[in-house]
Amino acid sequence: MKESIFFRILAIFIFSGLFLGCAKDTGTTPDQTDARANFIGRWSVSETWTKLSYEVTIATDPNSTNGVFIANFANTGFSGIPAGATINGKAITLDPNQVIGEGLTINGGGNLSGSKILWTYTLDDGATRINAVATYTKQ
Protein backbone atom coordinates (compact mmCIF):
# COMPACT_ATOMS: atom_id res chain seq x y z
CA MET A 1 0.00 0.00 0.00
CA LYS A 2 2.78 2.42 0.93
CA GLU A 3 4.57 1.48 -2.28
CA SER A 4 1.44 2.24 -4.34
CA ILE A 5 1.08 5.71 -2.81
CA PHE A 6 4.79 6.40 -3.37
CA PHE A 7 4.53 5.49 -7.07
CA ARG A 8 1.41 7.63 -7.52
CA ILE A 9 3.13 10.66 -5.98
CA LEU A 10 6.24 10.00 -8.07
CA ALA A 11 4.12 9.76 -11.22
CA ILE A 12 2.41 13.08 -10.41
CA PHE A 13 5.79 14.81 -10.02
CA ILE A 14 7.11 13.32 -13.24
CA PHE A 15 4.06 14.32 -15.30
CA SER A 16 4.00 17.79 -13.71
CA GLY A 17 7.63 18.25 -14.67
CA LEU A 18 6.94 17.16 -18.25
CA PHE A 19 4.07 19.62 -18.65
CA LEU A 20 5.87 22.53 -17.02
CA GLY A 21 9.05 21.82 -18.96
CA CYS A 22 7.25 22.06 -22.30
CA ALA A 23 6.83 25.85 -22.26
CA LYS A 24 8.37 27.37 -25.36
CA ASP A 25 11.32 29.67 -24.71
CA THR A 26 11.75 32.12 -27.55
CA GLY A 27 15.06 33.35 -26.19
CA THR A 28 13.99 36.97 -26.59
CA THR A 29 12.88 39.51 -24.07
CA PRO A 30 9.83 41.61 -24.95
CA ASP A 31 10.56 45.24 -25.72
CA GLN A 32 9.84 47.17 -22.54
CA THR A 33 9.98 50.62 -24.13
CA ASP A 34 6.83 52.60 -24.82
CA ALA A 35 6.57 53.52 -28.53
CA ARG A 36 4.72 56.67 -27.44
CA ALA A 37 7.85 58.08 -25.78
CA ASN A 38 9.15 59.50 -29.08
CA PHE A 39 5.88 61.37 -29.64
CA ILE A 40 5.37 62.88 -26.17
CA GLY A 41 6.17 66.56 -25.71
CA ARG A 42 5.79 69.97 -27.33
CA TRP A 43 5.85 70.34 -31.11
CA SER A 44 6.01 73.33 -33.45
CA VAL A 45 3.51 72.94 -36.29
CA SER A 46 3.68 74.28 -39.82
CA GLU A 47 0.51 73.70 -41.87
CA THR A 48 0.37 74.13 -45.61
CA TRP A 49 -3.35 74.84 -45.96
CA THR A 50 -3.50 77.70 -43.43
CA LYS A 51 0.10 78.84 -43.76
CA LEU A 52 -0.01 79.10 -39.95
CA SER A 53 2.56 78.09 -37.38
CA TYR A 54 1.48 77.12 -33.88
CA GLU A 55 2.27 74.63 -31.13
CA VAL A 56 0.71 71.38 -29.97
CA THR A 57 1.36 69.17 -26.99
CA ILE A 58 1.21 65.39 -27.23
CA ALA A 59 0.61 63.49 -23.96
CA THR A 60 -0.03 59.83 -23.15
CA ASP A 61 -3.56 58.60 -22.69
CA PRO A 62 -3.42 57.02 -19.21
CA ASN A 63 -6.24 54.62 -20.11
CA SER A 64 -4.47 53.12 -23.13
CA THR A 65 -1.20 51.34 -23.84
CA ASN A 66 -0.78 53.02 -27.24
CA GLY A 67 -3.04 56.08 -27.10
CA VAL A 68 -2.11 59.75 -26.96
CA PHE A 69 -3.90 63.09 -26.75
CA ILE A 70 -2.93 66.03 -28.96
CA ALA A 71 -3.82 69.41 -27.44
CA ASN A 72 -4.44 72.25 -29.93
CA PHE A 73 -4.66 69.92 -32.94
CA ALA A 74 -5.43 71.97 -36.08
CA ASN A 75 -4.98 75.11 -33.97
CA THR A 76 -8.32 74.57 -32.21
CA GLY A 77 -7.03 75.82 -28.85
CA PHE A 78 -5.50 74.28 -25.76
CA SER A 79 -8.67 74.63 -23.69
CA GLY A 80 -10.78 72.37 -25.92
CA ILE A 81 -11.02 68.61 -26.08
CA PRO A 82 -7.73 67.20 -27.39
CA ALA A 83 -7.57 64.99 -30.46
CA GLY A 84 -7.10 61.31 -29.70
CA ALA A 85 -4.65 59.16 -31.63
CA THR A 86 -2.92 55.79 -31.46
CA ILE A 87 0.75 54.99 -31.91
CA ASN A 88 1.97 51.94 -33.79
CA GLY A 89 5.76 52.00 -34.10
CA LYS A 90 6.56 55.25 -35.90
CA ALA A 91 2.99 55.78 -37.17
CA ILE A 92 0.40 57.96 -35.46
CA THR A 93 -3.25 57.62 -36.49
CA LEU A 94 -6.07 59.92 -35.44
CA ASP A 95 -9.03 58.18 -33.85
CA PRO A 96 -11.51 57.98 -36.77
CA ASN A 97 -14.29 60.53 -37.19
CA GLN A 98 -13.75 62.31 -33.90
CA VAL A 99 -15.08 65.83 -33.46
CA ILE A 100 -12.85 68.54 -32.00
CA GLY A 101 -12.92 72.32 -31.74
CA GLU A 102 -16.14 73.85 -32.98
CA GLY A 103 -17.49 70.82 -34.80
CA LEU A 104 -14.49 69.73 -36.92
CA THR A 105 -14.47 66.04 -37.82
CA ILE A 106 -10.88 64.88 -38.26
CA ASN A 107 -9.30 61.83 -39.91
CA GLY A 108 -5.77 60.93 -40.95
CA GLY A 109 -2.34 60.30 -39.54
CA GLY A 110 1.37 60.81 -39.77
CA ASN A 111 4.77 59.21 -39.54
CA LEU A 112 7.67 60.02 -37.26
CA SER A 113 10.99 60.61 -38.99
CA GLY A 114 13.78 61.76 -36.71
CA SER A 115 12.43 64.75 -34.80
CA LYS A 116 9.56 65.43 -37.22
CA ILE A 117 6.07 64.05 -37.77
CA LEU A 118 4.78 64.39 -41.33
CA TRP A 119 0.97 64.55 -41.26
CA THR A 120 -1.83 64.23 -43.80
CA TYR A 121 -5.37 64.62 -42.49
CA THR A 122 -8.80 65.97 -43.29
CA LEU A 123 -10.88 68.56 -41.46
CA ASP A 124 -14.60 68.62 -42.16
CA ASP A 125 -16.96 71.20 -40.66
CA GLY A 126 -20.03 69.74 -42.37
CA ALA A 127 -19.91 72.23 -45.24
CA THR A 128 -16.27 72.14 -46.32
CA ARG A 129 -13.72 69.36 -46.34
CA ILE A 130 -10.09 70.46 -46.15
CA ASN A 131 -7.16 68.20 -47.02
CA ALA A 132 -4.32 69.33 -44.78
CA VAL A 133 -0.61 68.62 -44.68
CA ALA A 134 1.43 69.56 -41.64
CA THR A 135 4.90 69.09 -40.26
CA TYR A 136 5.43 68.78 -36.53
CA THR A 137 8.95 69.56 -35.31
CA LYS A 138 9.92 68.49 -31.78
CA GLN A 139 10.89 71.36 -29.49
Per-residue pLDDT of 74-118, as tens digits, reads 999 999 999 999 999 999 999 999 999 999 999 999 999 999 999
Global pTM?
0.76
Cβ-Cβ contacts under 8 Å for 110 (sequence gap 6 or more): 91, 92, 117, 118, 119, 120, 121, 134, 136
Average pLDDT rounded to a whole number, residues 31-55: 89
Average pLDDT rounded to a whole number, residues 3-31: 44
**Between these two residues, 125 and 17, which has the higher pLDDT value?**
125
CATH topology of domain 36-138: Lipocalin (2.40.128)
59 bridge partner residues:
69
Query: pLDDT-derived band of residue 7, with 50, 70 and 90 as boundaries?
Result: very low
C-beta neighbour count of 25 within 10 angstroms: 5
